[in-house]
Structure 1
Amino acid sequence: MYIYFSAIFVGLLLLSNILSVKLFEMGSFILPSAAIVYVITYLMTDVIGEVYGKAAARKTVLAGFLTQIIAMIFIYISIQLPPAPDFHAQAEFEQILGGSFRLIFASLASYVISQNLNVSIFHWFKHKHGKKKLWLRNNLATMSSQFIDTVLFITIAFWGIVPTNVLLGMIVSQYIWKCLVALLDTPFAYILVKWTRKKEGNNPDYVIKAS
């Protein structure tokens, strides 16, 4: 199951980069569409770390980082390719997939720091509590790392571009949303961990092999 969880993690990560160009409104919150996808990646690393160990979770985070770099290289190449005469959506193609160097750097920097912080905090609590209190480490690790992710990304991407009050409003609204999702995904963490342990029960070496 480790390979499938890692694939889901990387797939959601790439999808969030594409969806981030669209904003949607929910009540008083204005959020990028990536907000409904990216937060689930933290659930995936928590489940991987809980079942397969800290090393496996870090490998998944590294795989996601390398995949983002590779994807960006090929997206850049595809944008630079001369469009066919019958292709009339080059500008839209660039707008959706291109992004700016500043946004790309903000995304990668916040990703590497926050995802690794999430793994570290999660496993600090796991070392302290063992298999107990999954809900606690799942929520505290996600909420702490998501705060860092939100502050870093929005500050790097938009500092000097939007007024400070708007910048702070973006940070607060996105962080509140991410905390709500973290609370809502707690039952799914229990379900996935229990199900995976049951599936892997016939293989006593699964933690060692994944790590």
Structure 2
Amino acid sequence: MFNFGWGVLFMLVNFTFFLICYRWFGKKGLYAWIGVATVIANIQVVKTIEMFGIVMTLGNTMYVSLYLTSDLLNEKYGRGEAKKAVWFGFFTLIMTTVLMQMALVFTPQPGDFAQESLQSIFGWMPRLALASLTAYFISQFLDVRLFAWIRKFYPSRGQLWIRNNFSTMVSSFVDTLIFCTIAFAGQYSLPIWTEILLTTYVIKFILTAAGTPFLYIARNYHPDEVETAHTR
């Protein structure tokens, strides 16, 4: 039960930081969130926890916030800004992976204590790195396209939850399917692989629904207008 209670608090803190980042820094803050969240999600995914008898990885909350961010950009600034943010996140993930792999190659001095820990966190197999990059790239661009398409049929302000939830739930399933296929296909039996796929997606599904109220709150912020007024 501790992990569940702590997980609820963890989710609230994640989404609250998302709101603060946008409230204080506006659209630039959303780009910054994309970059930071992309890296943090791929660090947290290394750690596994157990909740209600189910083994799961961390990183799902932060990863769902990426969809929340691209949807907010799409809603308030248009599809072009959302796509630009996805490219920025993709670049950030590649840059972090390359630089940390290069950093691990340095020979540590005898008294160094960090190499082993860094190796555990950043020494991903090429297969896992490929899975993460491919899943992120395809699912995020799919989310941007789906959100814009759904808005044609459900354009009102009150229907934001439809645009957000439908686009994210479809794209996060694609993300989970791609990642699990590239990373784990052939590594586990089909029943275990299916369990990993379904439990990961269910968690993302729940987190997407839980994040919707935060998206509504963020939409009512107008930090860029305040910033423009201050610079005049």
| 1:203 to partner: Cα distance | 8.4
Within-5 A mapping of 1:1-211:
1-132=26-157, 133-195=159-221, 198-201=222-225
Residue of structure 1 equivalent to 2:6: none
Q: How well do the aligned residues superpose, as a CA RMSD in angstroms?
A: 1.5
Q: Which amino acid aligns with 1:134?
A: L
Alignment partners' CA distance in 2, 1:3 and 1:140: 26
Q: Report Cα offsets for 1:37-94 as digits up to 9, x if no partner.
A: 1111110111111011100000000001111111111101110011011114423321
Moved more, 90-99 or 136-145: 90-99
Q: Which amino acid aligns with 2:216?
A: Y
Instruction: Give yes or no for contact 2:27–2:224 (8 Å, CA) kept in 1.
Output: no
Q: Tell me, what secondary structure is at the counterpart of 1:24?
A: strand
Partner of 2:11: none
CA distance in 2, matches of 1:40, 1:119: 14
Return closer, same or farther for 1:170/1:84 CA change in 2, 3 Å cut-off. Answer: same
Counterpart residue identity of residue 38, structure 2: L
**Deviation by residue 1:117-154 (Cα, 9 ceiling, x = unmatched):** 00010011123332431000100000000000001101
Aligned residue pairs total 202
CA distance in 2, matches of 1:187, 1:128: 21
Deviation string 1:153-195 (CA, Å, 9 cap, x unpaired) is 0111000111110000001101111010111111111100111
Q: Work out whether residues 38 and 92 of structure 2, in 8 Å CA contact, stay in contact via their aligned partners in 1.
A: no
Report the TM-score, using the length of structure 1 for normalisation.
0.91
Gaps of 5+ in 1: 205-211
Structure 1 counterpart of 2:155, one-letter code: G
Q: Distance in 1 between matches of 2:28 and 2:113?
A: 39
Most deviating of 37-46 and 89-98 = 89-98
**Counterpart AA for 1:113:** I
What residue is the counterpart of 1:209 in the other structure? Answer: none
Give the residue type in structure 1 aligned to 2:162. L
Percent identity over the alignment is: 32
Mapped to 1, the partners of 2:140 and 2:151 lie a distance apart of 16
CA distance in 1, matches of 2:74, 2:205: 20
Given residue 101 of structure 2, which amino acid in structure 1 is its aligned partner?
Y
Q: Using structure 2 for the length normalisation, give the TM-score.
A: 0.83
